[in-house]
Amino acid sequence: MIKRILAKELEVSAVGLGCMGLSQSYPPFPDKDEGIRFLRRAVEMGQTFFDTSEVYAIGGNEELVGEALAPVRDQVKIATKFGWDIQNGKCIGLDSRPETIRKAVDASLKRLRTDYIDLYYHQTRIAFYSCTESIRYNPRQACCLSSKKRFRFLLHSVQMPLLKEL
């Protein structure tokens, strides 16, 4: 499989595998076991870059990706997204405040069964609050998002290139 480098060192398969359709938006959805087999087979075929989001199936997609890729975590790169106000199992709007991002990254790490996220990015067009704006100019401030370095790169996915090494 052809590879490419994002930023300076994030080597991934040239085409990423977007996982949203395994659990929302494009029915019929495979059952859990079929989804896990599909993702593991993709790795066997050389796929190394998998994309999900906290909002896809309200965390369910991250859980599926996490379970499927846990045994091969050292062979793959995982991207996931933040920027949503998720309460009681429902997405009720947008929220990119630092305290929400802190909670979101911790929840994503748990669902993905990993201790770091390779590419963590802001998914929404609005609600791009001052914390994320400040990260644009000083990526080291991303440490304010959690007590430990939990993701390698931060990206704003819609409007501006924000691929920065943290």
110-126 residue pLDDT tens: 999 999 999 888 776 54
Catalytic choice (26, 56, 116, 129): 56
Q: What is the pTM of this model?
A: 0.80
Asked if 121 is an active-site residue, the reply is no
63-82 confidence digits (pLDDT tens): 999 999 999 999 999 999 88
Q: Is residue 42 predicted with pLDDT exceeding 90?
A: yes
Q: Give the whole-angstrom CA distance, residue 116 versus residue 158.
A: 23
Of 109, 49, 38, whose CA–CA distance to 76 is shortest? 49
How much is the pLDDT for 108? Answer: 94
Residue pair 77/120 in contact by the 8 Å Cβ criterion: no
Min mean pLDDT across 72-76, 136-140, 155-159 is at 136-140
Band of pLDDT at residue 141, cut at 50, 70 and 90:
very low
Those residues with Cβ within 8 angstroms of residue 21's Cβ, 6 or more apart along the chain or in another chain: 29
Whether domain 3-165 has CATH 3.40.50.300: the reply is no
Domain boundary assignment for the chain:
3-165
